[in-house]
Amino acid sequence: MRSYPSTSGFQTSSRLTCAGANGCHGNRDQTDQWDAVSGGHHGDDTILQYGSGFTLTGQGASVATSYRFLYKIKGAEDNDWHNTRSTTDHNEYLGEDYANRGTTDSWANMKGTISELCAECHANYHVSGSGGIGTASPWIRHPTDVLIPNSGEYASISTTYDDETPVGRSTIANGATAASGTVAAGTDRVICLSCHRAHGSDQNDNLRFSYSTSLSAGAGCLHCHTNKDAY
């Protein structure tokens, strides 16, 4: 199931774990989740924290220098780790603009985006063609790690950052002292976490918002799909 960076792959005889080959955190080459995160909490994570020492350079080189101990993933960690949240008080996620991700070799060139981590198990999200999407609907795999178009209905998205629908950034400046409070179509990216929560939610499919009952204008899907009617 998993190709890179795990050499052991997901162990189908075992359950999902927090870390290691069957989890997300730590070194996913390790089958034991405690070995996977060993030493991470004692490392210097200055380059991950907002402030003069923040830089994407060097992130992902070790568990300690990876965003949220997600080995090889990059981003900016809020100083209270997202305990408090506002337009300018939140984590920042790295995003790329991938038209197609599918081959095993491609993971050797991973850029460190949070969506790449998700795709280690949910691999078909970056595969071209119609394979793996089932037959119930022609639209199951929403694009991820792609630009929010600066055209059509997407050009009318709110430019104010909403923590309920986060975006991926093409880069995060060295020495960034705080999160950006704006969103820009044509520059920022849709990522898996724009719609889903990593550790579960009270909504169907781990969504950040209610999808099956109602959506108000500008919320959830309608944050980007501005021509859709609220319901």
The 10s digit of each residue's pLDDT in 59-72 is 999 999 999 999 99
Q: Which of 11-15, 134-138, 218-222 has the lowest mean pLDDT?
A: 134-138
* Confidence (pLDDT) at 103: 45
Amino acid at 15: R
d(CA 23, CA 46): 25
What stretches of the chain show up as alpha helix (H) in DSSP?
Answer: 33-37, 114-119
**Residue whose token pair is 């008080």:** 89
Dihedral (CA of 145, 11, 73, 114) sign: positive
pLDDT band of residue 82 (cuts 50, 70, 90) is confident
pLDDT in tens, 163-221: 999 999 999 999 999 999 999 999 999 999 999 999 989 988 899 988 887 778 888 88
Q: Determine contact, residues 143/100, Cβ cutoff 8 Å.
A: no
Q: How many CA atoms lie within 13 A of 78 on its CB side?
A: 17
pLDDT band of residue 131 (cuts 50, 70, 90) is low
Strand-pair category, 146-147 with 75-76: unpaired
CA distances from 197 to 7, 10, 163, 193, 201 (A): 26, 21, 11, 6, 6
The whole model's pTM is what? 0.87
* Confidence (pLDDT) at 2: 46
Average pLDDT over residues 47-76: 96
Average pLDDT, rounded, for the chain: 85
More confident residue, 100 or 18: 18
pLDDT greater than 50 at residue 28: yes
Non-local (6+) Cβ contacts of 154 within 8 A are: 148, 185, 224, 225, 226
pLDDT greater than 70 at residue 54: yes
d(CA 146, CA 197): 19
Amino acid at 158: S
Q: Would you list the domain boundaries of the chain?
A: 1-230
